[in-house]
Structure 1
Amino acid sequence: MGRWGIVTLAAVAAVATACSPSAADDATGDETTTSTTRTPRITDDSGRPPVTFDPCYDIPDDVMNAAGYDAAKKEVADMPMGTHTFLGCTYKKEDLVPGVRRGYSLNILSGNVSLDEELKKNGHVATSATINGRSALLEVGPENRDACTYVLQTDFGVVFVTRLYNTDHPGPAPQSEWCAGMEEFVGSIEPHIAN
């Protein structure tokens, strides 16, 4: 797994230590609209483009709630790194099916690395994809069991959408379940992603 893949999974694991965006300001996702002139919350000194899509603020809460994620409990999970920047947002979907799954953890991570860089790092688990006409990668691999990641190309870099299937039994979920429904879900949030 490449460094950015580790970053993505680390963001999912760091949900408990992140702060809620509602504590950062009083705007909800329903009141905030996508803006091409947004001033990024975090910048780096790399010379790479600024990350202009903020997953916690630019995806309307009603879109996430409709998908079964509790937007009131979303949490900021940013990762400034000096050489590149990631703005992240984590969500949980607690749809317990006893003996099957406890639900899902979701991380949406917007970063100023290119789709080509991501392909070079994780090409061994990536296949080309398209979401609503936008170039993307689908990443599924045995080293990230129970995880499904779509990586969408943007003008500033990429947006990772990683879902972790939380089993309610010992061992992994069947690989056929890792990405079940993900393409449709990613298609529902894609229109809110800045180019």
Structure 2
Amino acid sequence: MKHTSIAVAVAMSALVAASCSSRNNASEPTGATTSIAARPSIAVVVKPAPDQPHNSRSPVKFDPCFEIGDDTITKVGFVPKTRERADQVHDGYAFISCTFERQEDVHGKTGRVGSLTISSTNVTLDEFRRREGNAATEIKVNDREAITYREPAAEACYVVMTGPDATIDMSVSSTLALTHWNACDHAQEIATIVESALPAK
């Protein structure tokens, strides 16, 4: 009887120790859990970026659709639930892009009055400078080199800054027939907020 009691006590001790060990291990996140937790909060999940061709340029790795969180999009005045892919992948370069709508009351209904597209590209800032020529103005977005330029016909303004790949190309547009909010008045302010969500240089 005495031996049986000792055996039961030993077995109980082993169970308690195993239980404590299990709880301790569960409280320590794995590398994968930490990585997932570090990602920004996004309510609308979109499909992955398309494959990129193998060429002399490094493929674009930073994906704004997964790396720019809803809080940033809300802060700049756009609607996170309108998140959609807007990629442009060509033989010689790629724009991995995400687009969002600005919405306001239009004739008693919620309607689209503007858009924001954020693209990570493997096109360099110097290439954008050459393409835009005198139409581009040199600016700084926080401490990043950047240019800005307009496309009047599309009621759009662009800010291109150095980014995690080569550049972040950001376009902001508004439909002035439907809103008093002018995209070009806010493009650089929006770029500053978007830049704060990018990885450190």
TM-score if structure 1 supplies the norm length? Answer: 0.69
The answer to whether 1:136 aligns with 2:146 is: yes
| Structure possessing the higher radius of gyration over alpha carbons | 2
Rounded to whole Å, the distance in 2 between the matches of 1:58 and 1:127 is 28
Structure with greater proportional strand content: 2
SS of residue paired to 1:118: helix
Query: What is the CA-CA distance between 1:184 and the residue it aligns to?
Result: 1.6
Q: Partner residue of 1:82?
A: 91
Q: Partner residue of 2:132?
A: 122
Unmatched 5+ stretches in structure 1? 1-27, 33-38
Q: Partner residue of 1:12?
A: none
2:145/2:161 contact within 8 Å kept: yes
Structure with greater proportional helix content: 2
Counterpart selection for 2:172 from 160, 163, 168: 163
Which runs of structure 1 show a deviation greater than 4 angstroms over 4 or more consecutive aligned residues?
none
1:42/1:85 contact within 8 Å kept: no
Listed one character per residue, the Cα deviations across residues 135-184 of structure 1 (whole Å, up to 9, x for unaligned) are 00011244x44111000112521111101111226xxx99x944112222
Rounded to whole Å, the distance in 2 between the matches of 1:190 and 1:44 is 27
Q: How does 1:40-189 map to 2 (within 5 A)?
A: 42-96=51-105, 103-142=113-152, 144-168=153-177, 177-189=182-194
State the Cα RMSD in Å: 2.9
Q: Partner residue of 1:191?
A: 196
For residues 48 and 145 of structure 1, do their structure 2 counterparts lie closer, same or farther at Cα, with a shift above 3 Å needed? Answer: same
2:62/2:164 contact within 8 Å kept: no
Unmatched 5+ stretches in structure 2? 1-38
Q: Partner residue of 2:33?
A: none
Give the percent of matched residue pairs that are identical in Structure 1 and Structure 2: 26
TM-score if structure 2 supplies the norm length? Answer: 0.67
Aligned residues: 155
Listed one character per residue, the Cα deviations across residues 70-92 of structure 1 (whole Å, up to 9, x for unaligned) are 11121011111121111011100
What code does the residue aligned with 1:134 have?
R
Rounded to whole Å, the distance in 2 between the matches of 1:107 and 1:94 is 15
